[in-house]
Structure 1
Amino acid sequence: MTGFYHETAFYDSDDDFLTIAVPFVEGGLRAGQPTLIACAEKNTTLLREALADDSAVTYLPGADQYARPADAIASYRDIFGGLAKDGATQIRTVGDVPHPGFGVPWDWWGRYENAVNQAYAEFPLWGLCPNDTRITPAEVLADVARTHEYVATTAGDHLPNPGFGTGLPLSVPVPDVLEQGTPLVVLVDPTPAAVREAVSASIRGTRLSEDDAHDAVYAASEIVTNGLSHGVAPVRFRLWADDSRVVVAVTDQGPGPADPMAGLMPTTATRSAGLGLWILHRTCDYVSMGRDEDGFTVRVSVGGSGHT
């Protein structure tokens, strides 16, 4: 197998999960293929208990590996590149990609599942992304069907997915809960300097850490710059905040980037809006990008915990 074989599976019981995942892992181990598991704690425990000998398996803590999509891509590319350089002709992974069933916003993980079809294409990789239908929302399952070229079954089949590539773009991002209130700042076609000043003034009385405050100012400046440079006027900037978290949203009337990798991988070797978008994907707690009836919106959240 060459290139990226991106596969999903749907299960509704722990036994079905093991029926799909255990033969996949054991097949890799028998063939001497590097095999990585980056699952949530429950599934990691199930696999550890079910595998007769997992000493050759590399376990990656799921919460760390899937902290942010851009970080996950960078980390995996380093791992896969190192294994390929060392002579691996086939690599296997099992991963629980985060979604609201795990208490995590889905938008940027949906974009991740789409983008990795390009991001990992150069590696001899077989990636299995199982989905527990007991906890996975319907809109996530629909996006999963659009972004995985193959489907594994409990019968041991690995089949082409007829839903792959259909219905893109993915589901529309959900506004942050803070957006239910009146924004503290509204600016139309502002300069990046005016945005930096407005954000700094608005978050001065919050409990954001110094790093979070810096990230909020940087993110706001970058997405306004991106909207002014690549979007269609008017460009509207809004900010909401409570005592520990800030949300900024920038909306323009353009279609948004056509590249599914936008923000998830660096697009240039020099500092630009493209690189800036990637940096905020690696520093902010949540980033969403999508188009609805109001236009194309980039939304970022910094600080606190819950985002939507």
Structure 2
Amino acid sequence: MTHSIEEHQGYRHVGHVLGVDLDMTTVVGPVLRRAVAAGEPVVVACPEAVAAAVLATLEGVGDVYVAPTDPLDDRPPAALAAIAELVDARAPGAGRRLHLVTGPGGPHTDPAVWMQTEALLNHVLAERPVDHICLLGPLDAGPDRSAGPVVDVDAVVHATHPWLLTEVGTVRNPAYRLPAELLREVQRAAVPDPLEETEPTLAMVDLEDMRALRRALTRVLADSSLSEDAAQDFVLAIDEVTANASEHGIPPVDVRLWCTPERLLCAVTDRGAAFDDPLVGYGPAHGDMAVGGMGLWLARRSVDSLTAAPADDSGDGCTVRLVVNA
């Protein structure tokens, strides 16, 4: 049984896998032309060639804005924030909906990170009145497929999009999975990190002095493959997570850092319970930076991956892992 997309309010995340001819005219075009005919704005944030194909289907009419794509290629929390800011800036108000078209662009890291970003859009934008057509296809695997893992585009689309745009229109996706459920599964698959089987570059056990930690991190990262700015951001993220462990966890708190030319991993462990909300920290807790409660959000924006898991198989303790790809 199919359902009309109009039955669902708020954010509508619609996935579409492009064919070799981009199939803009027959599949994507009719949806956007209906939006334009209804007087609703369209925002296109796609690579140049795809954006041109989208605009061609609209024949130069309607309220259409072409947005830069650079911010959308940033780390997942920053990319999510950039999309939210774009949506809020172009929101039409007065009961109308915004129609956003993005992609294809694909992940610059690994498929798991890309899948998490797509899943999190459903959480971050849940209340916005937006129809988001997410164009995906072979380009999402990156220009040089030999340089990274093969991406199963269909699997990502079906796991992360509640709606699918097909030749017969927009239909419900029965394979869609809730963001929290999907993120827990993806994160469990990445624990423990293989680097943890090697000797750490830095280990501070039963940490008591946060200033000593920051000094040690700064010294070690100065010899890493990170730029000075990236190293400072990583220190900030580790500092925020360690402060949270000290305040909300159970001591002792241990910090271990591994540095390789390709990636850096920091594991912060305390003896408290692991927090079980993979959606927390993907937006500021409030708008006042002076009040506090922003640490996890700030940390997420400074690294490529931040996950929490029980410290051991018994479920005792909590380890937060922060990863930066050099």
Distance 1:226 1:152 in 2: 42
- Kindly state the Cα deviation for residue 178 of structure 1 after the two structures are TM-superposed: 7.3
Q: How does 1:103-252 map to 2 (within 5 A)?
A: 103-132=108-137, 135-136=140-141, 137=150, 141-153=154-166, 155-165=167-177, 168=182, 169-172=184-187, 182-191=199-208, 192-206=210-224, 208-230=226-248, 235-241=253-259, 246-251=264-269
Change (3 A) 1:138 1:215: closer
- For residue 294 of structure 2, the aligned residue among 269, 275, 291 is 275
Deviations 1:31-62 (A, max 9, x none): 22111112234422433455422673211222
Instruction: Map 1:81-96 onto structure 2 (within 5 A).
Output: 81-84=88-91, 86-87=93-94, 89-96=96-103
How many residue pairs were aligned? Answer: 298
1:299 aligns with 322
- Shift of residue 63, structure 1, vs aligned partner: 2.7
Where structure 1 has 5 or more consecutive residues not aligned to the other structure, the ranges are: none
- The question of whether the paired residues in 2 share the 8 Å contact of 1:35 and 1:91 is answered with yes
Measured at CA, do residues 97 and 114 of structure 1 come closer, stay the same or move farther in structure 2, by a change above 3 Å?
A: farther
C-alpha separation between the residues in 2 aligned to 1:287 and 1:196? 20
Assess if the C-alpha contact under 8 Å between 1:193 and 1:221 holds in 2: no
- C-alpha displacement at 1:151, in angstroms? 1.3
Structure 1 or 2, whichever has the larger Rg, is 2
Aligned 8 A contact 1:106 1:140 in 2 = no
Give, as a single letter, the amino acid of the residue that structure 2 aligns with 1:52.
E
Summarize the Cα distance change of 1:16–1:211 in structure 2 as closer, same or farther, 3 Å threshold: same
Aligned partner (choices 267, 277, 283) of residue 265 of structure 1: 283
Q: 1:33 to 1:128 in 2, by over 3 A?
A: same
**Residue 68 of structure 2, aligned match among 52, 61, 65:** 61
**Bigger mean CA offset, 62-71 vs 244-253:** 244-253
- Please report the TM-score for the alignment, with normalisation by the length of structure 2: 0.73
Residues in 1 aligned to 2:154 and 2:211: alpha-carbon distance in whole angstroms: 41
Residue of structure 1 equivalent to 2:3: none
Separation in 1, partners of 2:16, 2:66:
20
Range moving further from structure 2, 190-199 or 30-39 = 190-199
Whether the 8 Å CA contact 2:41–2:62 is kept in 1: the answer is no
Once the two structures are overlaid, the 10-residue window that deviates more, 2-11 or 46-55, is: 46-55
User: Structure 2 counterpart of 1:130, which letter?
Assistant: L
Alpha-carbon separation, structure 1, partners of 2:102 and 2:118: 11
RMSD over equivalenced CA pairs, Å: 3.6
Q: 1:133 and 1:28 mapped to 2: Cα distance?
A: 27
The answer for unaligned runs of 5 or more in structure 2 is: 1-5, 142-149, 313-317
Alpha carbons 2:138, 2:153 under 8 Å: kept: no
Task: Pick which of 249-258 and 208-217 moved more.
Answer: 249-258
For residues 205-263 of structure 1, the C-alpha deviation after alignment (integer angstroms, 9 at most, x for no partner) is 35644432321211111122233445577754322335797543335674434151x22
1:33 alignment counterpart: 40
- 2:283, 2:79 → 1: CA distance? 10
Give the SS at the match of 2:275. Answer: coil
Structure 1 residues 13 and 206: alpha-carbon distance in aligned structure 2, compared to 1, 3 A threshold: same
Q: TM-score under structure 1 normalisation?
A: 0.77
**Percent of paired sites with the same residue:** 27
Question: 1:90: how far off?
Answer: 1.0
Q: Which of 80, 84, 88 matches 2:87?
A: 80
* Structure 2 residue matching 1:171: 3-state secondary structure: helix
Q: How far is 1:93 from its partner?
A: 0.7
